[in-house]
Chain A
Amino acid sequence: MKIFINASSGVPIYRQIIQQIENGVAGGILNPGEQLPTVREVALKLTINPNTVARAYRELENSGVIESIQGRGTYVSKNVPHLSGKAREKMIKDRLEEILREAHQLNISPAKVEELFREILLEISDQ
């Protein structure tokens, strides 16, 4: 999987790596048991600090997404932990909240928002 880095983004580079690998695993681009490139390979490929890559790998290991086998390398975990129902709900709730605030600010009435919500829901379920 190719990793993209936006160095001048306000998001720390190690976070960008974590997010992309997590998404890669969730989206099936990276398969359980698949080997990941070494810290050295990633650092030189992207021209980034090796300590940054090591930090991303360390955190991914702590959260169980990847595992490193001494002397062999780093692999995608065989059983990646899934987000709990609560965590998933919170993700969506936060996004909805953001949208509702924006709607308020744009003077769109709650009734209109509800109408749009149902409309989009219908469109999606039709597909």
Chain B
Amino acid sequence: MSGALAWFLVALGLGVVVVRRRSLAVALVTGQALVLAVSAHGEPGAAAALAVRALVLGLLLLLVVSRTREPRPVRSGVAPLMRGGFAVILALALTWLVPTMGLASRNAERGVLALIAFGLVAVATRTATLFQVLGIVLVENGLALAALQLHNGSSAAIELGVAFDLTLIATVAVVFHERIFAEFGTGDAGALRSLRD
């Protein structure tokens, strides 16, 4: 994988951490998955699984955005620049901590770790439920990149299974998001604070 492509994927991921608009974030992760699918042209099974997953998830999430218009933007407790800073620091820390993973290129390894870090930071710092789902998708995109960069090629069966599972999880998350929106009038996970010990 070329360095430019890895950096492009990382930049799309960082965008999800910092942008405010949900639809833009959905477009970023969908675009990221489609770029991954295109880069997997040597493995048609894996590429097809990734492309279908990207489109299905993208359409599903955009539909949800249109069905659950927020009366006002859900504000995260952490400012966008801070979120971006956290994400970059965690990505650098992971790159420093995790030794060579045995993927086809070091650029790809760094890209995988960065996307996982960005996904974790998105889930931890964004309170909008949809952004938390996008954080999980971001992590899975990073893992899809890792699977595609295995020396002996990815297994189409695994790609297909992961794509199916992720779509299933995202669909269930969408059901919850809509119910939470209906119950609380907002898709803000910050409203979910009644269960504490």
Does A pair with B? Answer: no
